[in-house]
Amino acid sequence: MRVRQLAASAMSLEKPKSFQEIILRLQAYWAKHGCAIMQPYDMEVGAGTFHPATTLRSLGSKPWAAAYVQPSRRPTDGRYGENPNRLQHYYQYQVVIKPSPPDLQALYLGSLEAIGVDMGMHDIRFVEDDWESPTLGAWGLGWEVWCDGMEVSQFTYFQQVGGHDCAPVAGELTYGLERLAMYILNSDHVMDMPYNDPQSPIALSYGDVFKQTEEEYARWNFDVANTDVLLRHFEEAEAECASILSQEHDDPKIGKRIIMAHPAYDQCIKASHIFNLLDARGVISVTERQAYIGRVRTLAKACADAFVQTDAGGFVQ
Amino acid sequence: MPDLLIELFSEEIPARMQGKAADDLKKMMTDGMVEAGLTYASAAAFSTPRRLCLTVEGLLADSPTVFEERKGPKVGAPDKAIEGFLRGAGLTRDQLEERDTPKGAIYFASIEKPGRPAAAIIADVLEKTIRTFPWPKSMRWGAGSLRWVRPLHSILCVLNDEAGSEVVPLDVDGITSGKTTHGHRFMAPKQITVNSFEDYEAQLKRAFVVLSAGERVDAIWEDAKNQAFANGLEVVEDAGLLREVAGLVEWPVVLMGEIAPDFLGLPPEVLQTSMKEHQKFFSVKNPKSGLIERFITVANRETADNGATILAGNQKVLFARLSDAKFFWENDLRTAKSDMTAWTSALSNVTFHNKLGTQAERIDRIAALARELAPVVGAEPDEAERAARLAKADLSSEMVYEFPELQGLMGRYYAETAGETVAVAAAAEEHYAPLGPSDAVPTAPVSVAVSLADKIDTLTGFWAIDEKPTGSKDPFALRRAALGVIRLVLENDLNLRLSSVLSRADERANAVDLLSFFHDRLKVYLRDQGVRHDVIDACIAMDGNDDLAMLVKRAIALEAFMKTEDGTNLLQGFKRANNILSKEEEKDGVEYSYGADVKFAETDEERALFASLASEGPSIEAALESEDFAAAMTVMAALRAPIDAFFDAVQVNSDNTTVRRNRLNLLSDIRKLVRSVADLTRVEG
């Protein structure tokens, strides 16, 4: 404990200079504390929770510890890069540890220190915020973490995912990276925030990297995305997910038990994201909305059912 | 006499749950200990974000030994029976007592239940309390199966007396009890060892934890008031927010900050709501201008820079939040100025209920109904319809999307901006009222028309699709809507025939059933005002019972009348007449309603009754015509003496069938006249 604190304060002696340095420090911190540093999932998702390293791995009895950056897309939040902190594409930093360690709060606070939050000067608070994902059929209890009145993270003890009780319980930490970094780097507008070290030969701001893409995607999300195509893709993803899960467990070709939970879950993620796009296009009415969410949840539950039948899901033959 | 100290130390407990949790801890522990024979002198419970604490003083050191007496078999009963009894009691035969009873000699056993030491009892009761604690929501963590509101870290459980203190040994799912805790998470995280409550409370205070929520509330409020006062300002009171904030801190530090001048043009309610909902800030206003100029935030710690960094951070977050609010406000004002119908037409994409169509369709219905109701409430039909069409426009505004609790109020601001009349703007805000039994009822005619139309449309709509409240379930708040209609009608003294309004509002709704729902709500409402239920029933049974204002006038007059001697005597006389009449009618299988003729009267008393019915009848009718129920009942009271005299002197069941029939018809005239005032058959007494 003592060693950890010393190391952390040594790290925080110097404040991070850029967005990427904050990410690198988080990676180093959680690697040091035993997490497998994973890479972003290679599909469009709305939040880091959708990464199978969280959703599926929080199920079953096997211990698990992972941390990763996840690019996240929320089409309805697009503001053409004008709003100081609203983006349709942003980054979340996600930590998931199962079973949740008894000192998870202390570990979390250590990570804030590691990225340059001076624990002697700020007011850190754990404010009730229960988490629920109707599309994933998941819920948990926890807090939003406030630093001087600003929400910097979500802290959740998963109780259920895909309709299954989580036992043991996974602890999940989600950092909204842009907002947290803006705070630490004292930037008033996300686009002005230094992406790499401002002393670099080629210094890049967040805006240099993302302003144009925010505009392009906002236009596409809101006005151009072909809703007929999207609706068809939704149906196809839904059908494919069901079809994958309806296959017999034993592969007839190689004769091994192979339940395709992950490929099925990919289709679930796809359906979920297409739903978000349709929502941004304003073609889903309030009543239909519930129905779509219910359809995605059905897929998520079926994938969870399949995963707990697999080795990684703790299934013992 | 030992004292007990318990602390359950956990990760942050939601503020809204802390108070009840402290009460529950006290109740479950003291009830459990007393049930086990361990009485005490006093107990108190406390809560902070991270701990629940209980102190109990003057406990017994051991529960007392008690003797339970058991009655056994008769002396001389078969050995088998006696042996069975001995086994059950755990005694031998020489320990039994023989006692003479009226049924003969019987064995009695006196079983000693030895007392248990306090520590053993406390350990049992505490474990049970922890395992069955009634958190509104609880969770598991790690690999364990114990449930608590958030992970439970330690159990402090210490008994102390003059001789010293000892830990009450206890193990709940691997959490073993001890005598240590921790101070403030950041300011004094080191372990603390405690021996008694006084010691605990004092050490916590040194470790920057104020144990008592009440003390934290007082400290926050005092400091907030003083800081505001020193600047010539005052804090906007908010008891709920104060309690919540006191549940978010162990060491409250009050900080006052400025609101950038950019935002002072926002409506004060918007500033207040945004600061409260998002940031849990108090609003600080200038008493001269009424404007909110500053905010107060409560930090959970002291810092070397006296909170400057914390305040700056909070101010920055507030700036972002208020920038959003200002953006919404300015966009909304632009829409309001150009054309508010953009908002109303957007409501055609919003489903109200999947069987009741969109919000826009609903607004069309409300507008038609408001127009129809306008003459009854004294409003201009055009203005009432206009108000109804705009009343829900703000539901499409950006501000209300962000802060739903500002619905109505924003509608008023926007309608004013759009140049609508004062009455139309007021209706946008007031048509939601009354929301509860003590909420003010609108009185402006246009507001009343829209408010009635809104509520009646809701009721008839849900009645039409058979979504009525059942038992404790009332998801669409239909009881509240009905009470709202009742209060609007009564407090504005409206002559409104509900039945026709209800059936026209939605012909699919069963208006008779809905009217009886109104009557049920009215009964509850009047009962709260002290009107007897049988008196209400007697008035509900009358024609015209869908005119609620008239119904209530009648009920209040009858309630008063039944409290007079004339009233109770008349009731007796009426009941006697009605009983005889009903009995004879049943026997004869006919209804005596042909009208009596005075020429068949045989006695003076009979003739006197004829005379008074003839003279009072028209007066009662006239009083009823003008809805002067008190007058009608006063006149009716004059019938009391002739009725009493009639029954004293006359035998109704005369041998002469013509006379008998005439007397029964006379009783029928009495019944008819009395029942034109109220159905006294339903009044008890």
Give the domain-ending residue among B206, B238, B256: B206
Report the CATH number at residue B365. Answer: 1.10.3210
One domain for residues B72 and B26 = no
One domain for residues B510 and B654 = no
Strand order in the sheet with B234-235: B234-235, B282-285, B292-299, B253-258
Greatest mean pLDDT range, A256-265, B83-92, B324-333, B358-367: A256-265
Residue A274 in this model has a pLDDT that exceeds 80:
yes
Instruction: Give the pLDDT mean for B608-620.
Output: 90
Share of chain B above pLDDT 70, in %: 100
Residue B67 in this model has a pLDDT that exceeds 50:
yes
Residue B646 in this model has a pLDDT that exceeds 70:
yes
Chain A residues touching residue B304 (CB < 8 angstroms): 120-121
Distance from CA of A158 to the nearest CA of B (A): 8
Q: Of A26-35, A73-82, A204-213, B149-158, which range is least confident?
A: A73-82
Inside any domain, residue B546: no
C-beta atoms of A102 and B11 within 8 A? no
**pLDDT at residue number A287:** 64
Report the CATH number at residue B606. Answer: 1.10.730.10
H helix intervals, chain A: 2-12, 19-32, 52-55, 104-114, 177-185, 206-219, 227-246, 261-280, 286-307
Mean pLDDT estimate for chain B: 92
Q: Is the minimum CB–CB distance between B309 and chain A shorter than 8 Å?
A: yes
Distance from CA of A287 to the nearest CA of B (A): 7
Inside any domain, residue B528: no
One domain for residues B176 and B253 = no
One domain for residues B289 and B190 = no
How many domains are contained in chain B?
A: 5
Instruction: Give the pLDDT mean for A264-276.
Output: 95
One domain for residues B270 and B370 = no
Contact B263, B322 (CB under 8 A): yes
Mean pLDDT estimate for chain A: 92
Greatest mean pLDDT range, B276-285, B577-586, B642-651: B276-285
Residue B516 in this model has a pLDDT that exceeds 90:
yes
Residues 6 or more apart whose CB falls under 8 angstroms from that of B175 comprise B146, B152, B153, B154, B155
Amino acid letter for position B613: L
Give the domain-ending residue among B306, B337, B368: B337
Distance from CA of A215 to the nearest CA of B (A): 20
Inside any domain, residue B411: yes
Q: Is the minimum CB–CB distance between A128 and chain B shorter than 8 Å?
A: yes
Residue B572 in this model has a pLDDT that exceeds 80:
yes
Inside any domain, residue B226: yes
Distance, in Å, from the CA atom of B166 to the CA atom of B176, rounded to the nearest integer, reads: 14
Q: Is the minimum CB–CB distance between A206 and chain B shorter than 8 Å?
A: no
Tokens of A288: 């239909």
Inside any domain, residue B543: no
Nearest to B280 by CA among B311, B242, B313: B242
3-state SS assignment for residue B2: coil
Chain A residues touching residue B248 (CB < 8 angstroms): 125, 127
Inside any domain, residue B89: yes
- Alpha carbon distances (Å) from A21 to A67, A197, B110, B653: 16, 8, 80, 108
Residue of B47, B137, B138, B150 to mutate for A, most A C-beta atoms under 10 A? B150
Nearest to A300 by CA among A277, A276, A271: A271
Contact A36, A65 (CB under 8 A): yes
Residues 6 or more apart whose CB falls under 8 angstroms from that of B448 comprise B377, B379, B442, B488, B492, B494
Tell me if the bond preceding B114 is cis, omega within 30° of 0. Answer: no
Residue A7 in this model has a pLDDT that exceeds 50:
no
Residues 6 or more apart whose CB falls under 8 angstroms from that of B462 comprise B353, B356, B468, B476, B478
The pLDDT tens digits for A233-250 are: 999 999 999 999 999 999
One domain for residues B442 and B359 = yes
One domain for residues B150 and B224 = no
Q: Which residue of B has its CA nearest to A64?
A: B142
**pLDDT at residue number A218:** 92
Distance from CA of B191 to the nearest CA of A (A): 14
The pLDDT tens digits for B401-446 are: 888 889 999 999 999 999 999 999 999 999 999 988 888 999 999 9
Distance, in Å, from the CA atom of B629 to the CA atom of B676, rounded to the nearest integer, reads: 11
Quickly count: other Cβ atoms within 10 Å of residue B354's Cβ.
Answer: 13
Instruction: Give the pLDDT mean for B627-654.
Output: 89
Q: Is the minimum CB–CB distance between B15 and chain A shorter than 8 Å?
A: yes
Run of H or E including A153: strand A150-161
Residue B350 in this model has a pLDDT that exceeds 90:
no
Q: Is the minimum CB–CB distance between B297 and chain A shorter than 8 Å?
A: yes
Distance from CA of A103 to the nearest CA of B (A): 10
Q: How many inter-chain contacts (A to B, CB under 8 Å) are there?
A: 100
C-beta atoms of B140 and A169 within 8 A? yes
Q: pTM of the prediction?
A: 0.79
Chain A residues touching residue B305 (CB < 8 angstroms): 121
Give the domain-ending residue among B295, B312, B337: B337
C-beta atoms of A169 and B310 within 8 A? no
- pLDDT bin (cut points 50, 70, 90) of residue B280 is very high
3-state SS assignment for residue B581: helix
Instruction: Give the pLDDT mean for B106-119.
Output: 91
Residue B379 in this model has a pLDDT that exceeds 90:
yes
Residue A6 in this model has a pLDDT that exceeds 70:
no
- Alpha carbon distances (Å) from B623 to A17, B156, B428, B570, B628: 89, 76, 41, 18, 5
One domain for residues B227 and B327 = yes
Tokens of B659: 């006379």
Is the ipTM higher than 0.90? The answer is yes
Nearest to B309 by CA among B321, B323, B297: B297
CA-CA-CA-CA torsion sign (B72, B75, B78, B79): positive
C-beta atoms of A102 and B151 within 8 A? yes
Residue B345 in this model has a pLDDT that exceeds 90:
no
Phi and psi at residue B192, to the nearest 5°: -125, 135
Inside any domain, residue B574: yes
Distance, in Å, from the CA atom of B44 to the CA atom of B6, rounded to the nearest integer, reads: 11
Instruction: Give the pLDDT mean for A125-150.
Output: 94
One domain for residues B441 and B419 = yes
Owning domain of residue B94: 66-113
Distance, in Å, from the CA atom of B183 to the CA atom of B22, rounded to the nearest integer, reads: 19
One domain for residues B254 and B280 = yes
Helix, strand and coil content of chain A, in percent to the nearest 5, comes to 45, 20, 35
Amino acid letter for position B566: D
Q: Is the minimum CB–CB distance between A1 and chain B shorter than 8 Å?
A: no
Contact A176, A150 (CB under 8 A): no
Inside any domain, residue B392: yes
Beta strands in B286-429 (DSSP E): 292-299, 351-353, 357-358
**pLDDT at residue number A286:** 65
Residue with tokens 């839904």: A238
Residue of B13, B51, B141 to mutate for A, most A C-beta atoms under 10 A? B141
Residue A295 in this model has a pLDDT that exceeds 60:
yes
Q: Of A279-288, B74-83, B481-490, which range is least confident?
A: A279-288
Distance, in Å, from the CA atom of B3 to the CA atom of B58, rounded to the nearest integer, reads: 6
Instruction: Give the pLDDT mean for B535-555.
Output: 92
Q: Is the minimum CB–CB distance between B34 and chain A shorter than 8 Å?
A: no
One domain for residues B43 and B89 = no
Nearest to B448 by CA among B539, B387, B509, B531: B387
Q: Is the minimum CB–CB distance between A121 and chain B shorter than 8 Å?
A: yes
Q: At what angle do helices B422-430 and B381-391 cross, to 10 degrees?
A: 50
**pLDDT at residue number A12:** 44
Pairing of strands B180-182, B234-235: unpaired
Distance, in Å, from the CA atom of B536 to the CA atom of B268, rounded to the nearest integer, reads: 45
Chain A residues touching residue B300 (CB < 8 angstroms): 123, 125
**pLDDT at residue number A282:** 75
C-beta atoms of B313 and A147 within 8 A? yes
Distance, in Å, from the CA atom of B435 to the CA atom of B407, rounded to the nearest integer, reads: 13
C-beta atoms of B314 and A148 within 8 A? yes
Q: Is the minimum CB–CB distance between B16 and chain A shorter than 8 Å?
A: yes
Distance from CA of B150 to the nearest CA of A (A): 7
Phi and psi at residue B110, to the nearest 5°: -115, 110
Distance from CA of A235 to the nearest CA of B (A): 23
**Cα angle vertex B425, ends B370, B329, to 5°?**
130
One domain for residues B518 and B384 = yes
Q: What does the radius of gyration of chain A's CA atoms come to, in whole angstroms? A: 20
Nearest to B477 by CA among B505, B436, B442: B436
**pLDDT at residue number A13:** 58
Instruction: Give the pLDDT mean for A128-144.
Output: 94
Tell me if the bond preceding B445 is cis, omega within 30° of 0. Answer: no
- Alpha carbon distances (Å) from B207 to B186, B192, B307: 10, 9, 18
